[in-house]
Amino acid sequence: MSGTHQDTGDRAVVLVDEDARAWRPATARSRFREGLTGPTAGVAAGHTQVNLISVPADWAYEMLLFCTRNPKPCPVLDVTDAGAWTTVLADGADLRTDLPRYRVWRDGELVEEPTDVRAHWRDDLVTFLIGCSFTFEWALSRAGVPIRHVEQGRNVPMYVTGRPCRPAGRLRGPTVVPMRPVPPRYLSAAIRETALLPAVHGGPVHCGDPSALGIADLSRPDFGDAVEPEPDDIPVFWACGVTPQAVVMASRPPFALTHAPGQMFITDERDERYRVV
């Protein structure tokens, strides 16, 4: 993300260069606040990225219960007080402005994708910051595992599966998974390294045949961009923090705010903090 956002029709491509990798988190958030948009994979490398969902206070307990019952797709790293737009994960950040792009939901329908949600903010909103698999990509890279979507300048592909989450009150919906193609010689390393980071989804939920998850066509992701695998790559799937958005669509709360898939909130925390050993 060199400061260049290219819109190529259906697919938004952000060029991540060494400058963006070396940004401090506050620098990245400042650039997003100024209007820079696009997928954040590789930006401010080494710093933890998180998914965001804000719901009215009368839905917050059910959201917390849902996350507790579904820790693989929804590992909670912070929850705000009602109406608060700050987090202990990022000093001085504003959760209403400091993501590249947001989504506004009404009655389960996506109605807008702004770069700033101050006009939509409500005093009763409780925000959940949920671990993101972008965080463990540093561990994959360190182990030599290629990250195809970063190599290709694309957003990670994400798919709605046929696996339902455990419901909580009014909230229900399917698990969403991102897919990363992994060469066979790196598969054990990919499983091992990500399993050591349970706070950001942990190890894969499935390796191999996508039909076992109810995914019919890897070239048509529900969120993000299709990536081009190498001939011997194995599709590997992890749980995804976009799951709450699928839950919003299924459960239809009257109002919610989320991040746009792949366009995350970058915290001040270091990725190593969430490694269990």
Q: List the domain boundaries for the chain.
A: 135-237
Query: What confidence score (pLDDT) does residue 147 get?
Result: 94
Span 183-194, pLDDT tens digits: 999 999 999 999
Instruction: Please tell me the CATH code under which domain 135-237 is placed.
Output: 3.30.2040.10
At position 137, the amino acid (one-letter code) is E
pLDDT digits (tens, 9 = 90+) for 230-246: 999 999 999 999 999 99
Tokens 């890279």, residue located: 141
Bridge partners of residue 179, in order along the sequence:
237
Give the rounded percent of residues in the chain with a pLDDT score beyond 90.
85
Residue given tokens 């790196």 in the structure block = 186
Find out whether 88 and 78 touch, Cβ atoms under 8 Å. yes
9 has a pLDDT exceeding 50: no
* Three-state helix/strand/coil letters over 80-97: CCCCCCCECCECCCCCCC
Beta bridge partners of 126: 55
From edge to edge, which strands make up the β-sheet containing 174-182? 158-164, 174-182, 234-237, 206-207
Does the pTM surpass 0.85? The reply is yes
**Sign for the pseudo-dihedral over CA of 254, 259, 265, 270:** positive
pLDDT in tens, 56-94: 999 999 999 999 999 999 999 999 999 999 999 999 999
CA 173/CA 245 separation, integer angstroms: 9
Euclidean distance between CA atoms 77 and 90, whole angstroms: 12
Distance, CA of 113 to CA of 54 (rounded, Å): 14
pLDDT in tens, 137-181: 988 999 999 999 989 989 999 999 999 999 999 999 999 999 999
